[in-house]
Amino acid sequence: MGTSNGASATNAVGAELAAVLPSNRIPWWKRGNLLRLNFTIFSLCLLSSAGGYDGSMMNGLLALPQWYVFMDNPTGSWLGFINAVYWLGMGISFPIAAPLSNKYGRKLGIYIGYVILVLGTILQTAAHNSITFILGRFFLGVAGAWYGSNVPLLISEIAYPTHRGIASSLYNCGWYIGSLIAAWATFGTRNFGDSWCWRIPSVLQALLPLVALPGLLLTPESPRWLVSVDRQEEALKILTACHAGHDADSMALVNFEIVEIESTIASEKAAHESTSYMDMIKTKGNRRRLLISITLGVFGQWVGNGVVSYYLALVLKTVGITSVTNQLLISAALQIWNLIFAVVAAMCVDKLGRRTLFLGSASIMLVAFIIVTGLSGSFAATGHAATGTTVIPFLFIFFAGYDIALTPLLVSYPCEIWPYRLRSRGLTVMWVTTIVAIFFNTFINPIALQAIGWKYYFVFVAVCATYGIVAFFFYPETRGHSLEQMAIIFDGDDAELISPTETAQAAAALGIKDSEKVASGVTHIE
C-alpha cells in the first residue's frame, strides 16, 4: 500500500481523487498518522475472528469423544441445531444492531459486542450441561452480530482512500486467523482425558477480541457518521489527524474528502426525508445492489464451504480418514492455507479488480468440487484408500478458489456499493441472508451427509455454476471510485455526485474558510 500518485492510486480511487493525493512518495509506514490508523484497522480486522474461531472449534470438537459424551452424543438435526444456534443469535441481533449503528455511531456497537462476548465465553467454558453450552454459543453469536454490523462500516469509512479497498477486504480475512487458532487449540488439547480438551478451546474464543481492544480504544469514530449527525467539525478533525497528520501536502486531500462527504450526505438527506428498507427496491440501481447483497450472502455459504467448514470430520470419514489426529491436522493445515490465499487476494483487489476475483473464484471452485464429487463417489463404490486420500488436495484447491473472492469481498463489496444512507442496511441484508444460508446448512448438512453421503455434493456443484453466471452478469467492477463516487456505477445519471470543479462552490455553501481555494488544496484547516 502506498500514498503517492500513480497508476496504483488511480486504480484504487480514480483519477479525480488521485489528483489531490500528496505528491511526496513517503511510504505509509514512515508516516506516523497512517501507521497509527492502519494499526487500529488491523486491530478491528481481528474482531472478525469470532466467527471463524467458532466454525473451526466446532469442527474440532466433532472429532473429540469427550465432547460428544458431554453433549449426550448429538447426531442429525440436533447436532445441526447445536452448530446453528450461534448463527441464530447473530440473525436475531443484526436487525437491532444496524439501526443503532446509524443512530449512536459505529464504536458503541462494538463495545456492546465485547460485553456479550465475555458473557458467552463464560457460559460456554463453564457449562455444566449441554443446555448451558448451547446458551453460551447463542450469546457468542449475538456478539458476532454487533461486530459484523459496525466493524466493516467503520473500517471502510476511516481508511485512507488508497488503502480502503485492501483494508476493507482484509477484515473478513480475520475469520481465518480465528479458525487457525481454534484448529491448533483443539489439536493441542485432543489428548486431554477430561472436559478440558474442549473447555480450553472454548475460553480462547475471547483471545483475539481482547488482543484487539487496545487498537479499538485508539480508533476514531467514522467521519461519515459524524457528518450525518451534523458534527462536521469533529469529522474534519479526524480526517485531518488520520489522513494528513502534520503533512501540509496532504491538506488538499482532506479538503476534497470533507467537501465530498458533506455534499453527498447533504444531497441524500435532501432527496430522501427518511430512510427505510423499502428504499432498496425503489430504483434500478438499488435493486441491483440488493441482488448483489442477497446473492453474495447465499453464495458465500452454499457453494460447499459450509459442509467442509463445520463438518470436515464427517466429510473425511466418508472418504476413509477416521483418525482423530489426522482429521485435526488436516483441519489445522487448511486454516493456514485459507489465511494465505485470502490475504494475498485482499492485497490484490485494486490491482486485479473485484470482478476478476469473483469470476476466477467461481471457476476454480466449480472444477474442484466436480472432482471432489467424482472421487468421493468412486471411493464409496470401491473403498480404495488412495482414491479417498486424493480428495484432500482438491478440497484445498476448492478453498483457494473460495478464498480469493468470497472471503475478502463478502463484506467489503456490499460496504462499498451502497450509498451512506443505506450502507448499514445493505450490509445487514447481506449478513441476514448469510445467516439464513448458514443456519440452513448447519442444520441440513449433517442430515444430508448421514442420509446420502457424497451424493449431496451435486447440490454444491450446481450452486458453484450459478455463482459464476450471476457474477458475470450482475457484479460490476468497482475499483477506481471513492465511496461517494461509487453511485455512478449503479445509478448513472441519477447518481448524487459532486465533481472536483464544484468543490469550491460546495465548500462555500458548507461554510469552510477560504472556500475558493479548496479545490486547489491550498487551504489549511485549523
Q: 313 falls in which pLDDT band (50, 70, 90)?
A: low
Is 101:130 a contact under the CB 8 Å cutoff? no
Q: Which position has the higher pLDDT, 344 or 189?
A: 344
Of the spans 271-275, 318-322, 448-452, which averages the highest pLDDT?
448-452
Radius of gyration (C-alpha) of the chain in whole angstroms: 24
Q: In this predicted structure, what is the pLDDT of residue 145?
A: 93
Q: 17 falls in which pLDDT band (50, 70, 90)?
A: confident
User: 516 φ, ψ to 5°?
Assistant: -70, -15
Q: 473 falls in which pLDDT band (50, 70, 90)?
A: very high
Domains of the chain, each with CATH number or no CATH: 34-219+272-494 (1.20.1250.20), 221-271+497-526 (no CATH)
Nearest-angstrom CA–CA distance, 517 and 505: 10
Calculate mean pLDDT across residues 389-409. Answer: 91
Q: State the chain's mean pLDDT as an integer.
A: 85
Q: 497 falls in which pLDDT band (50, 70, 90)?
A: low
Q: In this predicted structure, what is the pLDDT of residue 3?
A: 44
Measure Cα distances from 501 to 487, 504, 512 in Å: 18, 7, 16
Nearest-angstrom CA–CA distance, 436 and 90: 10
Nearest-angstrom CA–CA distance, 227 and 507: 14
pLDDT above 80: residue 453: no
pLDDT above 80: residue 319: no
Q: In this predicted structure, what is the pLDDT of residue 519?
A: 40
In sequence order, which residues have a C-beta less than 8 Å from that of residue 190 and are 6 or more positions away? 60, 63, 64, 197, 324, 325, 328
In sequence order, which residues have a C-beta less than 8 Å from that of residue 181 and are 6 or more positions away? 49, 53, 204, 207, 208
Is 86:116 a contact under the CB 8 Å cutoff? no
The single residue listed with the C-alpha cell 482484509 is: 170
Residue 411's nearest CA partner among 388, 394, 398, 428 is: 428
pTM as predicted: 0.86
**Tens-place pLDDT, residues 33-57:** 999 999 999 999 999 988 788 877 8
Q: In this predicted structure, what is the pLDDT of residue 372?
A: 83
**Tens-place pLDDT, residues 43-95:** 999 999 887 888 778 877 877 888 988 998 887 778 878 888 888 899 899 98
Nearest-angstrom CA–CA distance, 526 and 508: 16
Measure Cα distances from 52 to 15, 144, 178, 205, 298 in Å: 37, 10, 5, 10, 18
Nearest-angstrom CA–CA distance, 263 and 257: 10
Q: In this predicted structure, what is the pLDDT of residue 331?
A: 74
Q: In this predicted structure, what is the pLDDT of residue 520?
A: 40
Residue 316's nearest CA partner among 360, 375, 262 is: 375
CA 175 to chain centre: 8
Q: 2 falls in which pLDDT band (50, 70, 90)?
A: very low
Residue 254 backbone zone (phi > 0: left; psi -120 to 50: alpha; other: beta): alpha
Q: In this predicted structure, what is the pLDDT of residue 47?
A: 92
Residue 317's nearest CA partner among 21, 59, 78 is: 59
**Tens-place pLDDT, residues 499-512:** 544 544 554 444 44
Q: 416 falls in which pLDDT band (50, 70, 90)?
A: very high
Q: Which position has the higher pLDDT, 327 or 114?
A: 114
CA 410 to chain centre: 6
**Tens-place pLDDT, residues 187-204:** 888 888 788 989 999 999
Is 202:125 a contact under the CB 8 Å cutoff? yes
Calculate mean pLDDT across residues 136-149. Answer: 94
Q: 7 falls in which pLDDT band (50, 70, 90)?
A: low
Calculate mean pLDDT across residues 235-249. Answer: 91
Q: Which position has the higher pLDDT, 214 or 16?
A: 214
Nearest-angstrom CA–CA distance, 344 and 341: 5
Is 64:197 a contact under the CB 8 Å cutoff? yes
Measure Cα distances from 205 to 63, 240, 279, 386, 417 in Å: 18, 36, 38, 36, 32
Per-residue HEC secondary structure of 59-126 comes to: HHHCCCHHHHHHCCCCCHHHHHHHHHHHHHHHHHHHHHHHHHHHHHCHHHHHHHHHHHHHHHHHHHHC
pLDDT above 60: residue 325: yes
Q: In this predicted structure, what is the pLDDT of residue 176?
A: 87
